[in-house]
Amino acid sequence: MFSKTCQYAIKAVIYIHKQSLEGKKVGAKEIGQEIDAPDAFTAKILQVLVRQHVVGSFKGPTGGFYVDKSHEFKTLKDVVLAIDGDQLFQGCSLGLNQCSEQNPCPLHFEIVKVRSNIHYMLTSKSLKQLAEEVGDGSTVLARLA
């Protein structure tokens, strides 16, 4: 459903939100460790997320990744769009370049419901809410030690 890169991205963004709740910026290395992802690769992913304005970054000592007011309406869907593109949400799920109501593929009308569910899953909770759930222990971003 999500690429491995996108799974890392989702976890990274939630972790950044969690730390930003406490006003902390976090480095790529720390993020990688907290979400069980290779840190150099995590850094690459974060570059994309910064470019797409899903999170913010600051260089130098005391620098790191963070979110502020300007990111408050971003959702997991924006993360997925930034990393995996729109293939989960748009286009023919069987790869037809001509697929429409008039010329539907066998899954055309069914995929609509699935996509609507996916959309809901990725937009119904704010990233802040998701971060709070991790913060209070009701969900986790990695296996517990």
The contact set with a second copy (CB under 8 A) reads: 1-2, 4, 7, 10-11, 14, 36, 87-88, 93-99, 103-108, 110-111, 113-114, 117-118, 120-121, 124, 130, 133-134, 138-144
**Pick from a second copy, DNA, none: which does 21 bind, CB < 5 to 8 A by kind?**
none
Nearer to a second copy, 63 or 121 (CB): 121
* Cα–Cα dist 96/105, whole Å: 7
* Cα–Cα dist 72/90, whole Å: 25
**Does 24 sit near DNA (CB under 7 A)?**
no
Contact 64, 27 (CB under 8 A): yes
The least distance separating a second copy from the CB of residue 62, rounded to whole angstroms, comes to 28
Quote the crossing angle between the two packed helices 127-135 and 4-21, to the nearest 10°: 80
Contact 5, 48 (CB under 8 A): no
Q: How many residues bind DNA (CB under 7 A)?
A: 28
**Does 29 sit near DNA (CB under 7 A)?**
yes
| Site track for DNA across 37-76, x = CB under 7 A | xxxxx-xx-xx--xx-----xxxxxxxxx-----------
Each as own residue / partner, the long-range contacts of residues 89-95 (CB below 8 Å, 24 or more positions apart, any chain) are: 89/115, 89/118, 89/119
**Pick from DNA, a second copy, none: which does 28 bind, CB < 5 to 8 A by kind?**
DNA
Nearer to a second copy, 63 or 129 (CB): 129
Contact 129, 13 (CB under 8 A): no
